[in-house]
Amino acid sequence: GAVVSQHPSRVICKSGTSVKIECRSLDFQATTMFWYRQFPKQSLMLMATSNEGSKATYEQGVEKDKFLINHASLTLSTLTVTSAHPEDSSFYICSANQDRVSNFGAGTRLSVL
Amino acid sequence: QKEVEQDPGPLSVPEGAIVSLNCTYSNSAFQYFMWYRQYSRKGPELLMYTYSSGNKEDGRFTAQVDKSSKYISLFIRDSQPSDSATYLCAMSDVGNQFYFGTGTSLTVIP
Protein backbone atom coordinates (compact mmCIF):
# COMPACT_ATOMS: atom_id res chain seq x y z
CA GLY A 1 0.00 0.00 0.00
CA ALA A 2 0.86 3.65 -0.21
CA VAL A 3 3.30 4.85 2.43
CA VAL A 4 3.23 8.18 4.21
CA SER A 5 6.28 9.08 6.25
CA GLN A 6 6.05 11.60 9.08
CA HIS A 7 9.00 13.08 10.91
CA PRO A 8 9.90 13.59 13.70
CA SER A 9 7.95 11.08 15.76
CA ARG A 10 8.61 12.90 19.01
CA VAL A 11 9.44 16.51 19.84
CA ILE A 12 10.04 18.11 23.21
CA CYS A 13 10.56 21.86 23.09
CA LYS A 14 10.54 24.94 25.25
CA SER A 15 7.62 27.32 25.24
CA GLY A 16 8.01 30.02 22.59
CA THR A 17 9.97 27.95 20.10
CA SER A 18 8.71 26.84 16.69
CA VAL A 19 8.47 23.23 15.63
CA LYS A 20 8.34 21.88 12.09
CA ILE A 21 6.75 18.53 11.24
CA GLU A 22 7.25 16.93 7.83
CA CYS A 23 4.88 14.65 5.97
CA ARG A 24 6.06 12.81 2.86
CA SER A 25 4.30 10.54 0.43
CA LEU A 26 7.00 7.98 -0.37
CA ASP A 27 5.73 6.13 -3.40
CA PHE A 28 3.02 8.34 -4.80
CA GLN A 29 2.28 11.97 -5.49
CA ALA A 30 -0.17 13.80 -3.29
CA THR A 31 -1.58 17.12 -4.42
CA THR A 32 -3.57 17.21 -1.19
CA MET A 33 -2.50 16.23 2.30
CA PHE A 34 -4.36 16.51 5.56
CA TRP A 35 -3.24 17.50 9.04
CA TYR A 36 -4.99 16.19 12.14
CA ARG A 37 -4.65 16.76 15.83
CA GLN A 38 -5.54 14.11 18.37
CA PHE A 39 -5.86 14.50 22.12
CA PRO A 40 -5.53 11.43 24.37
CA LYS A 41 -8.40 8.98 23.95
CA GLN A 42 -10.13 11.27 21.49
CA SER A 43 -10.77 11.02 17.79
CA LEU A 44 -8.89 12.68 14.97
CA MET A 45 -9.65 16.35 14.54
CA LEU A 46 -9.01 17.73 11.07
CA MET A 47 -6.99 20.93 11.32
CA ALA A 48 -6.32 21.80 7.72
CA THR A 49 -6.08 20.60 4.16
CA SER A 50 -2.73 21.19 2.53
CA ASN A 51 -2.83 21.92 -1.20
CA GLU A 52 0.26 21.68 -3.38
CA GLY A 53 1.14 25.03 -4.87
CA SER A 54 -1.61 26.97 -3.14
CA LYS A 55 -2.79 28.06 0.28
CA ALA A 56 -3.95 25.56 2.83
CA THR A 57 -7.59 25.38 3.83
CA TYR A 58 -8.05 25.61 7.58
CA GLU A 59 -10.94 24.25 9.61
CA GLN A 60 -12.98 26.60 11.72
CA GLY A 61 -11.24 27.54 14.94
CA VAL A 62 -7.74 26.65 13.76
CA GLU A 63 -5.34 29.60 13.81
CA LYS A 64 -3.63 30.03 10.45
CA ASP A 65 -0.78 32.07 11.89
CA LYS A 66 -0.21 29.54 14.61
CA PHE A 67 -0.15 26.46 12.40
CA LEU A 68 1.71 27.30 9.21
CA ILE A 69 1.34 24.81 6.39
CA ASN A 70 3.52 24.61 3.33
CA HIS A 71 3.03 22.14 0.48
CA ALA A 72 5.86 22.99 -1.86
CA SER A 73 6.07 19.73 -3.77
CA LEU A 74 3.85 16.81 -4.71
CA THR A 75 5.42 14.63 -2.04
CA LEU A 76 6.02 16.96 0.90
CA SER A 77 3.85 19.00 3.23
CA THR A 78 5.10 20.66 6.39
CA LEU A 79 3.28 21.89 9.47
CA THR A 80 5.04 24.47 11.60
CA VAL A 81 3.72 25.16 15.06
CA THR A 82 4.88 28.70 15.69
CA SER A 83 5.69 30.03 19.17
CA ALA A 84 4.53 26.79 20.72
CA HIS A 85 2.89 26.83 24.14
CA PRO A 86 2.00 23.99 26.52
CA GLU A 87 -1.58 23.94 25.24
CA ASP A 88 -0.23 23.02 21.81
CA SER A 89 1.06 19.76 23.23
CA SER A 90 -0.73 17.02 21.31
CA PHE A 91 -0.40 14.22 18.79
CA TYR A 92 -0.27 15.51 15.22
CA ILE A 93 -0.96 13.18 12.29
CA CYS A 94 -0.84 13.75 8.56
CA SER A 95 -2.50 11.78 5.79
CA ALA A 96 -2.61 11.60 2.03
CA ASN A 97 -5.15 9.87 -0.17
CA GLN A 98 -4.49 7.40 -2.93
CA ASP A 99 -6.95 5.17 -4.75
CA ARG A 100 -9.82 6.20 -2.48
CA VAL A 101 -7.89 5.26 0.65
CA SER A 102 -6.58 7.65 3.30
CA ASN A 103 -3.00 6.75 4.28
CA PHE A 104 -1.70 8.06 7.58
CA GLY A 105 1.71 8.96 8.85
CA ALA A 106 2.91 7.49 12.14
CA GLY A 107 2.20 10.73 13.97
CA THR A 108 4.27 13.27 15.89
CA ARG A 109 3.97 13.64 19.63
CA LEU A 110 4.67 17.24 20.59
CA SER A 111 5.36 18.18 24.18
CA VAL A 112 5.85 21.85 24.97
CA LEU A 113 7.45 22.55 28.32
CA GLN B 1 -26.41 14.97 13.35
CA LYS B 2 -22.87 13.81 12.66
CA GLU B 3 -22.08 12.32 9.28
CA VAL B 4 -20.67 9.19 10.93
CA GLU B 5 -21.64 7.77 14.31
CA GLN B 6 -19.49 5.29 16.19
CA ASP B 7 -19.81 4.08 19.76
CA PRO B 8 -16.56 5.06 21.51
CA GLY B 9 -16.74 2.14 23.94
CA PRO B 10 -14.59 1.16 25.69
CA LEU B 11 -15.17 -2.44 24.76
CA SER B 12 -13.51 -5.21 26.75
CA VAL B 13 -13.66 -8.87 25.70
CA PRO B 14 -11.88 -12.10 26.70
CA GLU B 15 -9.30 -13.58 24.38
CA GLY B 16 -10.89 -15.74 21.71
CA ALA B 17 -14.17 -13.84 21.64
CA ILE B 18 -15.81 -12.55 18.49
CA VAL B 19 -15.78 -8.77 18.39
CA SER B 20 -18.35 -6.69 16.54
CA LEU B 21 -17.65 -3.04 15.83
CA ASN B 22 -20.19 -0.83 14.09
CA CYS B 23 -20.74 2.54 12.51
CA THR B 24 -23.82 4.22 11.14
CA TYR B 25 -23.91 7.08 8.69
CA SER B 26 -26.40 9.49 7.24
CA ASN B 27 -25.06 10.35 3.79
CA SER B 28 -26.29 7.97 1.10
CA ALA B 29 -23.59 9.28 -1.23
CA PHE B 30 -20.86 7.38 0.61
CA GLN B 31 -19.44 4.68 -1.63
CA TYR B 32 -16.10 3.74 -0.08
CA PHE B 33 -15.81 2.31 3.41
CA MET B 34 -12.71 1.68 5.49
CA TRP B 35 -11.68 0.42 8.88
CA TYR B 36 -8.49 1.59 10.52
CA ARG B 37 -6.68 0.29 13.59
CA GLN B 38 -4.78 2.72 15.77
CA TYR B 39 -2.44 1.60 18.51
CA SER B 40 -1.66 4.00 21.30
CA ARG B 41 0.60 6.85 20.15
CA LYS B 42 0.70 5.60 16.56
CA GLY B 43 -0.94 6.71 13.34
CA PRO B 44 -4.01 4.80 12.09
CA GLU B 45 -3.27 1.87 9.79
CA LEU B 46 -5.67 0.62 7.15
CA LEU B 47 -7.29 -2.72 8.00
CA MET B 48 -10.11 -3.18 5.53
CA TYR B 49 -11.41 -1.37 2.47
CA THR B 50 -14.78 -2.02 0.86
CA TYR B 51 -16.52 -0.48 -2.10
CA SER B 52 -20.32 -0.27 -1.96
CA SER B 53 -22.34 -3.01 -0.22
CA GLY B 54 -21.26 -6.51 0.67
CA ASN B 55 -18.78 -8.46 2.74
CA LYS B 56 -15.02 -8.65 2.63
CA GLU B 57 -12.92 -11.11 4.57
CA ASP B 58 -9.22 -10.96 5.41
CA GLY B 59 -7.98 -13.56 7.85
CA ARG B 60 -9.75 -13.05 11.17
CA PHE B 61 -11.32 -9.80 10.01
CA THR B 62 -14.61 -9.40 8.13
CA ALA B 63 -16.03 -6.10 6.99
CA GLN B 64 -19.71 -5.74 6.13
CA VAL B 65 -21.46 -2.87 4.44
CA ASP B 66 -25.25 -2.51 4.35
CA LYS B 67 -25.97 0.59 2.32
CA SER B 68 -29.73 0.19 2.61
CA SER B 69 -29.44 0.55 6.39
CA LYS B 70 -26.45 2.90 6.23
CA TYR B 71 -24.58 0.58 8.56
CA ILE B 72 -21.10 -0.90 8.46
CA SER B 73 -19.51 -3.51 10.69
CA LEU B 74 -16.12 -5.00 11.42
CA PHE B 75 -15.98 -8.48 12.93
CA ILE B 76 -12.86 -9.86 14.56
CA ARG B 77 -12.82 -13.62 15.09
CA ASP B 78 -10.67 -15.36 17.70
CA SER B 79 -9.65 -12.02 19.16
CA GLN B 80 -6.12 -11.70 20.50
CA PRO B 81 -4.55 -9.34 23.04
CA SER B 82 -2.63 -7.82 20.13
CA ASP B 83 -5.97 -6.68 18.71
CA SER B 84 -6.30 -4.24 21.61
CA ALA B 85 -6.42 -0.85 19.93
CA THR B 86 -8.80 1.87 18.80
CA TYR B 87 -10.75 1.04 15.65
CA LEU B 88 -11.86 3.88 13.40
CA CYS B 89 -14.40 3.62 10.65
CA ALA B 90 -14.11 5.93 7.69
CA MET B 91 -16.06 6.56 4.53
CA SER B 92 -15.86 8.74 1.49
CA ASP B 93 -17.97 9.90 -1.39
CA VAL B 94 -17.12 10.20 -5.08
CA GLY B 95 -15.69 13.62 -4.36
CA ASN B 96 -13.01 11.98 -2.20
CA GLN B 97 -14.16 13.78 0.93
CA PHE B 98 -13.39 11.59 3.96
CA TYR B 99 -15.43 11.28 7.13
CA PHE B 100 -14.22 9.44 10.23
CA GLY B 101 -15.97 7.90 13.20
CA THR B 102 -14.79 8.81 16.68
CA GLY B 103 -13.18 5.40 17.15
CA THR B 104 -13.99 2.46 19.43
CA SER B 105 -11.45 1.48 22.06
CA LEU B 106 -11.08 -2.31 22.29
CA THR B 107 -9.25 -4.29 24.96
CA VAL B 108 -8.81 -8.05 24.60
CA ILE B 109 -8.08 -9.62 27.95
CA PRO B 110 -5.74 -12.64 28.00
Give the minimum alpha-carbon distance from A93 to chain B in angstroms, rounded to a whole number. Answer: 7
Q: Tell me the C-alpha distance between B73 and B76, whole Å.
A: 10
Average of per-residue pLDDT across A78-85: 96
Per-residue pLDDT at A1: 67
Residue type, A33: M
B49 vs A: CB within 8 A: yes
Which residues are within 8 A (CB) of A2 and not within 5 positions of it... i.e. 6 or more apart?
A: A25, A26, A27, A28, A96, A98, A99, A101, A103
* Of A95, A107, A82, the residue nearest A13 (C-alpha): A82
Instruction: State pLDDT tens for residues A5-39.
Output: 999 999 999 999 999 999 999 999 998 999 999 98
Give the minimum alpha-carbon distance from B99 to chain A in angstroms, rounded to a whole number. Answer: 10
Per-residue pLDDT at B97: 79
Which residues are within 8 A (CB) of B95 and not within 5 positions of it... i.e. 6 or more apart?
A: none
Per-residue pLDDT at B1: 64
